[in-house]
Structure 1
Amino acid sequence: MSRRHSTKYKIDRRVGENIWGRPKSPVNKRPNRPGQHGGARRGKLSDFGTQLMAKQKLKFYYGDITEKQFRKTYDEANRRKGNTAELLIGLLECRLDAFVYRSKFVPTIFAARQFVNHAHVKVNGVRTNIPSYRLKPGDVVEVRDRAKNMALVLEALGSAERDIPDYIDVDPKAMSATFVRIPTLSDVPYPVKMEPNLVVEFYSS
């Protein structure tokens, strides 16, 4: 088992949920936390603990985002006019790595970050290798020719494991996708319940 798979499964067990909806997640059969005392009954979380878990779950979902990057995204959402929780989700879904994952060009959000890092995609015809690059509605992301026959890409596009949300318009033959609009929380196909309102409470307290 690779270190990344091991870490990903530990995250699932730590939060007690299959946050990526993967069929091989250990919490499908064993919902215990990792470690020697993982089988001990979970105590009732305090308000702070509940808020922290909601923040960690949302941050973990987007892969290798650091706490500094996640906080920066929250601060930007908080500066904008409107519902901070909804704006936070919208900003996270505007990330290039999240978009590549949503478009099913790769099987996992972790693979999406690496895929972008290796410059396998173009945005509006320009090679881009920054996972945190922020897309705007109307932007077109395409897989570069050299990557179109990668087993990783072909497997992901052919997988029935997850659906492409309606705020993304994908052309599977061309291996390109258009960012139609910035989604709201209800638009995003999270496999588990996300509570960005608790994330806002966590950072506001």
Structure 2
Amino acid sequence: MSKRHSAKFKIDRRMGQNLWGRGKSPVTKREYGPGQHGQRRKGKLSDFGVQLKAKQKLKGYYGNISEKQFKRTYQEALRLKGDSSENLIGLLERRLDAVVYRAKFVPTVFAARQFISHGHVKVNGRRVNVASYRVKLEDVIEVKDASKQLAIVLEAVQSGERDVPDYIEVDHSKMIAKFQRIPTLSDVPYPVQMEPNLVVEFYSR
């Protein structure tokens, strides 16, 4: 188990928010941060602190991806035409692990990463085992036939915790999803407020 995967609940508590909107989040029981100093009174954050927290929150939501990968995504968002903060969200939502999670093939984004790396997912008929693989418009993502009856898949499909957003078309009877369009910030069903504009400000300092 990766360090990032094992520490997922600490991310919720460090941010003080239920990032994924899950009932199991420890924030529902303890709103203070992890560790012996978690209950210390928090002072008002500086502009830098606010921007840093926005970055950590967005990074954490997508499975706490590495700083190197996240910054590379930001730099790519800058190169694209249009609003950089919207571009950043669009690029993050095109990650294969994000699409697998959004399609409700697995219960968490951490599970999506592991599911992909273990070879359970195909894109346009070819197996892809890289979680950061960038999905293109009209790409067809499917769960491998031998994996469709796995308990983790059946649990996710039947879960009422979240809905599939309308920019992904899903047929759960065949375990196939199609990436229909690149979403904007307002399209993405984040359980908490995300502020990609502050992330752009953080990196452009």
The question of a shared fold, defined as TM-score above 0.5 by the shorter chain, is answered with yes
Structure 2 match to 1:108: 108
Cα deviation, residue 28, structure 1: 1.1
The TM-score normalised by the length of structure 2 is: 0.97
Matched residues in 2 for 1:124 and 1:35: separation? 45
Gaps in structure 1 of 5+ consecutive residues = none
SS state at 1:169 partner: strand
SS state at 1:11 partner: helix
Matched residues in 2 for 1:64 and 1:7: separation? 9
Matched residues in 1 for 2:188 and 2:4: separation? 24
Structure 2 match to 1:76: 76
Matched residues in 2 for 1:125 and 1:61: separation? 28
Matched residues in 1 for 2:4 and 2:74: separation? 26
Cα deviation, residue 181, structure 1: 0.2
Amino acid at match of 2:163: D
Structure 2 match to 1:26: 26
Matched residues in 1 for 2:24 and 2:173: separation? 29
Q: Given the alignment of the two structures, is residue 168 of structure 1 paired with residue 171 of structure 2, yes or no?
A: no
Structure 2 match to 1:58: 58
1:22 to 1:5, Cα distance in 2 relative to 1, 3 A: farther
Matched residues in 1 for 2:112 and 2:92: separation? 14
Cα deviation, residue 30, structure 1: 1.1
Cα deviation, residue 69, structure 1: 0.2
Structure 1 match to 2:152: 152
Matched residues in 2 for 1:4 and 1:82: separation? 32
Matched residues in 1 for 2:64 and 2:176: separation? 24
1:152-195: CA deviation from partner (whole Å, max 9, x where unpaired): 00000000000100000000100000000000000000010000
1:49 to 1:64, Cα distance in 2 relative to 1, 3 A: closer
Structure 2 match to 1:10: 10
Matched residues in 2 for 1:4 and 1:183: separation? 26
Structure 2 match to 1:121: 121
Gaps in structure 2 of 5+ consecutive residues = none
Matched residues in 2 for 1:172 and 1:82: separation? 34
SS state at 2:32 partner: coil
The alignment covers a number of residue pairs equal to 204
SS state at 2:141 partner: strand
Matched residues in 2 for 1:152 and 1:9: separation? 19
Amino acid at match of 1:79: R
Structure 2 match to 1:136: 136
4+ long deviations beyond 6 Å: 2-5
Cα deviation, residue 29, structure 1: 2.1
Cα deviation, residue 142, structure 1: 0.5
